[in-house]
Structure 1
Amino acid sequence: MADGVYERLRTAIISGEWESGAQLPELSLAEHYGVSRTPIREALRRLEQDGLVERADRGMRVRGRSPEEILEIYEVRIVLEGAVASAAAKRRTEIDLIRLRRAAEAMAELDTTDAYAMATANRSFHETMWQASHNRTLIDLLTRLNDHLARYPATTLTRPGRWESALAEHDAILSAIENQHAEEAAERAEHHMAAARDIRLEMYAAELR
């Protein structure tokens, strides 16, 4: 039961059902999910370890958003994406390359009026690259880190010109992986995520105006 409550709460936070800063009182959550307070307490403890909730004056709340958090997330993700691209260049198989090409082609053929589809296709490309690294630790870290970014729902890909540049950056990463140029793959991936970071910060600042 505790696992089920944890997954439901985690999904609700990542999807925005429970918004940034929302209070998470145990009794209300227990009534909402139809369980006792014990699995709620355990789920909140695990979510705190995940960095998705934090302690407040009146119990737990959904972790707030901030430009500092954006910088922290991307500081780590830039390094991890570079590492995973390098590993993929060294260890990719022909099946990995086929999957990466398909993911890139799916993005190129996408209807760019659908922001959700754009974000989904972009995530698919990155997750395919993660799998090509054949490094479970990197995959686990990036998956957990991606949960934090998911709390910032608007995709950076809707910014004018970003979709086209992202496609070109993906092609460059894929080419380096295909040619087993590990250092170049890492540099391309790091540049790609740094560009996303800068746009994310601009979007956050725009929301405050």
Structure 2
Amino acid sequence: MATSVYDEIREAIVVGAIVPGQVLSENQLATDFGTSRTPVREALHRLEIEDLVERLPRGVRVRETSPEEIIDIYDVRITLEGAAARAAAERATELDRRRLRVAQDAMVAAGSDPRQRAETNRHFHEAIWSASHSPTLVDLLHRLNVHLVRYPTTTLEGDDRWTAVLSEHEELLEAIESRDALRARQIAETHMTAAREVRMQMYAEQGGRPTRS
């Protein structure tokens, strides 16, 4: 039960149903998720370890991530994405490569809705992580990414950036399919560095408000 409640509360935070800065009540969460306070308390403790919530003198609130912290996350993610792409080129099975192609096709078919773009982009990256066959990399990338996906705007809103992302993903997919590990790593790192730069520009234009990856 505790794991289930944890997953539900975590998902509510990730998708924005519970927003950054919101104060959480154990009693209210227990009512909302149809459980007792004990599994809620355990779930909040796990979320605190993940830095998704923080303790107040009285209560708990959803933690807000500063632009500086998100940029720092991006710096680490650049290296991890490169490592995952390299490992995917070396270890991907035929099924992994088919899943990556399906994920890329879904991105190509995505419309102009920013949330759909962000969702298909996330699925593509998660397919690469999975194809790396490195549980440690997958765990670290999921933990980092959760801090980026829970904000309402995305770096993929602009058509120019979206076109560039599709092209970069195609190059990355081709490198993985040809098992060129060095090129896959280089493309992934360059791709994520470009995303970081777009995010930095958005922060400058929006007064430092966090955005969705």
TM-score, normalised to structure 2, is: 0.89
Residue matched to 2:86: 86
* Matched residue, 1:170: 169
Q: Indicate the residue corresponding to 2:211 in structure 1.
A: none
Amino acid at match of 2:40: I
Query: CA-to-partner distance for each residue in 1:52-93, whole Å, 9 max, x for gaps?
Result: 111223321101131122112212211110000000111122
Name the SS of the counterpart of 2:151 in structure 1: coil
Distance 2:37 2:158 in 1: 43
C-alpha distance 27-93 of structure 1, shift in aligned 2 (>3 A)? closer
State whether structure 2 residue 125 is matched by structure 1 residue 126: yes
Matches within 5 A, 1:113-152: 113-152=112-151
CA RMSD of aligned residues (A): 1.8
Residues 20 and 62 in structure 1, CA contact (< 8 A), matched pair in contact too? yes
The CA distance in 2 between the partners of 1:84 and 1:33, in whole Å, is 36
- Code of the residue aligned with 2:58 in structure 1: it is R
Partner of 2:58: 58
Instruction: Note the alpha carbon deviations across 1:85-140, whole angstroms, 9 max, x for none.
Output: 000111122332222222222222322x2222211211121111112211122122
Counting only pairs closer than 5 Å after superposition, residues 68-87 of structure 1 correspond to structure 2 as: 68-87=68-87
Partner Cα separation in structure 2 for residue 23 and residue 86 of structure 1: 41
Q: Which moved more, 1:135-144 or 1:168-177?
A: 135-144
Contact residue 3 and residue 43 of structure 2 kept, 8 A = yes
Instruction: Extract unaligned runs of 5+ from structure 1.
Output: none
The offset of 1:205, in angstroms, is 3.8
Asked if 1:36 corresponds to 2:36, the answer is yes
Residue correspondences, number: 208
Q: Is 1:100 aligned with 2:100?
A: yes
- Residue 46 of structure 1 is matched in structure 2 by 46
Query: Kindly tell me: are residues 105 and 45 of structure 1, through their superposed partners in 2, closer, same or farther at Cα, counting changes over 3 Å?
Result: same
What is the match of residue 67 of structure 2?
A: 67
- Between the aligned partners of 2:27 and 2:109, the Cα distance in structure 1 is 48
Contact 1:85–1:177, Cα closer than 8 Å, also in 2: yes
Aligned-residue sequence identity (percent) comes to 53
- 1:158 correspondence with 2:153: no
Whether 2:189 is the aligned partner of 1:190: answer yes
Deviations 1:19-69 (A, max 9, x none): 111111323333433433222211110001112111223321101131122
In 1, Cα distance between the equivalents of 2:26 and 2:120? 36
Q: Could you report, residue by residue, the CA deviation over 1:128-174 in whole angstroms, capped at 9, with x for unpaired residues?
A: 11122111221222222221111223221112411000011111111
| Contact 1:20/1:63, CA 8 A, preserved across alignment | yes
Instruction: Report 1:12-23 matches (<5 A).
Output: 12-23=12-23
Q: SS at 1:148's partner residue?
A: coil
Alignment-derived partner of residue 181 in structure 1: 180
Measured in 2, the distance between the counterparts of 1:72 and 1:56 equals 25
